[in-house]
Amino acid sequence: MPALPVAFRRAFSLLLLAALAAGPPLWFIGSSRPYLPLLKSKPSTVLAPMAVVSHTRCQFTAPGCVPNNLRPPPPPELESEEDQKYYEMLQTRLTHHRTRGIKPPTSHYCHEVDCVVIKMDHYCPWMFNPVGYLNYRFFWLFL
């Protein structure tokens, strides 16, 4: 069976999370005291919407990818062989072997999104997105 498209999986996870967050107060609508769950669950009335918003922001915020077409500058004309070897060593350390683009020192390559992510922590299957420099804050707010 083929995998579902990412947009469908994201929409389904958002819908499920929203139903779980708003579910308990809605379960008591038909009772004689529908306000009782809201009075007992004051922290959840604040934390559940915050979790939904943080999940959404983390899921749809770009993690901070380095553009694939960003290439290092051409090598300069160096006189000594020692300088040439040093420059080649720097160039191999600061370029990624798969994309041949610039790779900052704190970045990692993510195979799921096929790009180099700055300060990548991990790829989160619940977010369908790598957790990186630009969405790390939303990930921790969600947890």
pLDDT tens figures, 76-122: 777 788 888 887 777 777 777 777 788 888 888 888 888 889 999 99
Q: Is the pLDDT of residue 49 over 60?
A: yes
Q: Is the pLDDT of residue 131 over 90?
A: yes
CA 60 to chain centre: 8
Comparing 116 with 2, which gets the higher pLDDT? 116
pLDDT of res. 100: 76
Q: Is the pLDDT of residue 54 over 80?
A: yes
Q: Which residues contact 29 (CB under 8 A, 6 or more apart)?
A: none
The type of residue at 30 is: G
Strands, DSSP E only, in 29-83? 65-66
pLDDT of res. 1: 42
User: What is the Cα–Cα distance from 79 to 87, expressed in whole angstroms?
Assistant: 12
pTM: 0.63
**What percent of the chain has a predicted confidence (pLDDT) above 70?**
70
Confidence of residue 130 (pLDDT cuts 50, 70, 90): very high
Q: Is the pLDDT of residue 29 over 60?
A: no
